[in-house]
Amino acid sequence: MRNQEVARIFNDIADILEIKGDNPFRIRAYRRAAQNVDGLAKDVAEISPEELQKIPGIGADLAGKVHEYVETGGMKFYDELKKEVPSGLVNILSVPGLGPKTARLLYDKLHIKDVDDLEKYAKEGKLKGLPGIQAKTEENILKGIAMIRRHTGRFPLGRVLPVAEGILEKLKEKAPVIKLSIAGSLRRWKETIQDIDILATSKDPHKVMDVFVHLPQVKDVIMKGPTKSSIITTEGTQVDLRVVEEASFGAALAYFTGSKEHNIRLREMAVKKGLKINEYGIFDVKTDRKLGGEHEEDVYQILGMPYIPPEIREDTGEIEAALEGNLPKLIGMKDIKGDLHVHTKSSDGSHDIQELIEAAKARGYEYIAITDHSKGLGVAGGLSVEQVLEQNRKIQALNKKLRGFKLLSGTEMDIKSDGSPDFPDDVLKRLDIVIASIHSGFRQSKEQITKRIVSAMKNPYVSIIAHPTGRLIGERDAYEVDLEEVLKAAKETGTAIEINAYPLRLDLSDMYVRKAKEMGVALAINTDTHVIYQFDFMTYGIGTARRGWAGKKDVLNTLGYNALMKRLKGKAGFP
Ligand code: DGT
Ligand code: CA
Ligand code: ZN
């Protein structure tokens, strides 16, 4: 979809305008347009200029710009605008907490043009005198730069997967492929991705490669051959496509899915059995006879193991578990009965409850929890006590009318900086579910933040801790928090921990999901939906849960409605 690209450009434009000190209304118009284009379910390339104008926040002018981009792959206004500020200055904005006003100031006063300049000045302590910059800020800027550096070269899964799916779709449509699969870290649902690996079989590999290197997503072609081609997409991700023989497809899929560590272990095992595994198949070393390779299962079967799902192929115990017959039965999409973290337009969501019910039913769900923000989160339209109680009455009335579907009346309650809850207990006790989470005070010490979360968990009405580390992959590091302590307290208090499925969050991360599972802490996989299409983010949560070895019984929202309600009311200390 072109939508993400257009949204990124509109956001860039807003950034540059802001650095230039342009009209705030104009800046906000670009930001709003970016958000709305990003949220569209349909590709802007398939929407006529007339229809484009009907999208909220897109007038004739912006519709024209979108159309221009779809037609030409560029936007004149954007290209001209970029010439007005040093390109590195825009990159400075990716340093967390550093906004356009500061960027402008840094440029005007110190001629800082890019991240390297910024780092140099911060290290030398030369930023301090500037308005609004203190020693602590310099330290935070350096931390932020270090984070950006760590992430360069790897892209968040949530940015890469839609690109890969777009390419697969086009290949299916236009190229003579028979089998087609994603491989590599993307197939393992790793949270960051270096490059996209795709495998195919075909009777006409040349034609497949021809189609591939001419796809609209392609910016540069690195190499083109009959068995392997590599391109760079317009987003800057490398994609390798390999066309292999039908008889080797399974072996190639196993090989290129990795991980490398997992493959090395498999090959060592093979050697001990007098076998050889490579991307072409499994062979008997003595006779060179091919024993298998058409199907991925062949590899595992010949080594005397059950099939190991891609998500756990990391050599972190899966091979031992497989040999002992102890592989976990991993959770799947079909196990999910509902979503426990959903916003309506009463806070910062985009839809009313009725629209959300329809969307949830269409996904086969049995229930959803309405969890708008609480009053402390003013910027997100948090609900007052009166408003959340009114919503609660409305939901109870709706539940009487609904057939085969239930709403849970809830809240995403802010845990305040001092650790106190944003609603009193006599409000919380009327709700079906309470999600508690942190939205401020990210710079507190590890002890403070851990204490805040633990004290929230001690409240008998708090059912789930949402996005427990606050990270945004590639954009914002987790706040300092002792997750081991949090998990321990979760176990003791009977509080569930969320796997927030929003693609840039994936929070809990896979490693801690596994720890939670081992400790017997309940998990909940939620999308944090603000716009309906985001319900589909559930697959990312499932991917993360599977990477953490989680099964159906580890996850709250696999329970049916009645069992779930019983479970929520069963928390220790619940009156
Ligand atoms: P990344 O870094 O996100 O692209 O991660 P992967 O796992 O996709 O790594 P990539 O793209 O370098 O290679 C894809 C797969 O190919 C990898 O998971 C395993 C296999 N592979 C690549 N290089 C080697 C190697 O030197 N030895 C073995 N055994 N397997 C390899
Ligand atoms: Ca890869
Ligand atoms: Zn939320």
Domain limits, the chain? 3-151, 155-243, 248-323, 333-570
Q: Is 411 in the pocket of ligand 1 (CB under 6 A)?
A: no
54 touches ligand 1 (CB under 6 Å): no
pLDDT in tens, 369-417: 999 999 988 777 899 999 999 999 999 999 999 999 999 999 999 999 9
Distance, in Å, from the CA atom of 195 to the CA atom of 191, rounded to the nearest integer, reads: 12
Ligand 3 centroid–CA 502 distance in Å is 10
Question: Is 429 a pocket residue for ligand 1 (Cβ < 6 Å)?
Answer: no
For ligand 1, atom 15, the nearest C-alpha belongs to 256
Q: What is the mean pLDDT of residues 22-38?
A: 87
Evaluate: CB of 185 within 6 angstroms of ligand 1. yes
What pairs with residue 499 in β-bridges?
525
155-243: CATH topology is Beta Polymerase; domain 2 (3.30.460)
According to the model, what pLDDT value does residue 384 have?
A: 96
DSSP track, 115-167: HHHHHHHHHTT-STTSTT--HHHHHHHHHHHHHHHHHTT-EEHHHHHHHHHHH
Rounded to 10 degrees, the C-alpha dihedral 78/79/83/87 comes to 80
In this structure, are residues 129 and 106 in contact, taking their beta carbons and an 8 Å threshold?
no
Tokens of 65: 């710009």
Ligand 1 atom with minimal separation from the 267 CA:
29
Looking at the chain, how many residues does it have?
A: 575
| Residue found under tokens 């009209």 | 23
| Residue 57 CB-density burial (10 A; 0-12 exposed, 13-18 middle, 19+ buried) | middle
Say whether pLDDT at 327 is over 80.
yes
Residues of the chain with pLDDT > 70: what percent? 98
* Calpha distance 239→163 (Å, rounded): 10
Rounded Cα gap, residues 352 and 485, in angstroms: 38
pTM, full prediction: 0.80
Residue ranges of alpha helices (H) inside 344-405 are 353-362, 385-401
Q: Could you tell me the pLDDT band of residue 476, with boundaries at 50, 70 and 90?
A: confident
Please determine, looking at this structure, whether the domain spanning 3-151 carries the CATH number 1.10.3720.10: no
Token pair of 526 as six digits? 């939620």
Amino acid code (one letter) for 73: G
CA distance 111 to 104: 9
Amino acid identity of residue 229, one-letter, is S
The tens digit of pLDDT for each residue in 145-176 reads 887 776 667 889 998 999 999 999 999 999 99
Q: Which of 469, 517, 509 is nearest to 190 (CA)?
A: 509
- Mean residue pLDDT across the chain: 93
Q: Look up residue 498 and give its two tokens.
A: 């969320």
Looking at all shown ligands, the one closest to residue 464's CA atom is 3
Q: How many CB atoms lie within 10 A of CB 119?
A: 18
Q: Is the CB of 315 under 6 A from ligand 1?
A: no
CATH level 3 topology of 333-570: TIM Barrel (3.20.20)
Residue 135 above 70 pLDDT?
no
Bridge partners for 284 per DSSP: 275
Q: What pLDDT is stored for residue 575 in this prediction? A: 59
**Relative to the CA of 192, which ligand 1 atom is closest?**
3
Report yes or no: 330 and 302 within 8 Å, Cβ to Cβ.
Answer: no
Q: Which of 197, 199, 314 to mutate to test the pocket of ligand 1 (most atoms within 8 A of CB)?
A: 197
Is-cis flag, bond preceding 259, omega within 30? yes
pLDDT mean over 439-459: 93
Confidence bin at 501 (pLDDT 50/70/90): very high
pLDDT value for 309: 98
**95-121 mean pLDDT:** 87
Q: Atom of ligand 1 at shortest distance to CA of 188?
A: 7
Half-sphere exposure of 3 (CA within 13 A, CB side): 19
Q: How far apart are CA 148 and CA 145, in angstroms?
A: 5
CA angle centred on 41, ends 380 and 170, rounded to 5°: 140
Q: Under CATH, domain 248-323 is a member of which superfamily? A: DNA polymerase, thumb domain (3.30.210.10)
- Asked whether 22 and 42 are in contact (CB, 8 A), the reply is no
For atom 31 of ligand 1, the residue with the nearest CA is: 260
Rounded CA separation 28/18 (Å): 10
Residues with CB under 5 A from ligand 3 (ion): 412, 528
The answer for 492, left when phi > 0, alpha when psi is -120 to 50, beta otherwise, is alpha
Give the residue among 396, 498, 388 at the shortest CA–CA distance from 437. 498
Task: Give tens-digit pLDDT for 169-197.
Answer: 999 999 999 999 999 999 999 999 999 99
Q: Which ligand is nearest to the CA of 251?
A: 1
Confidence at 86, pLDDT banded by 50, 70, 90: confident
Residues 275-295: pLDDT tens digits? Answer: 999 999 999 999 999 999 999
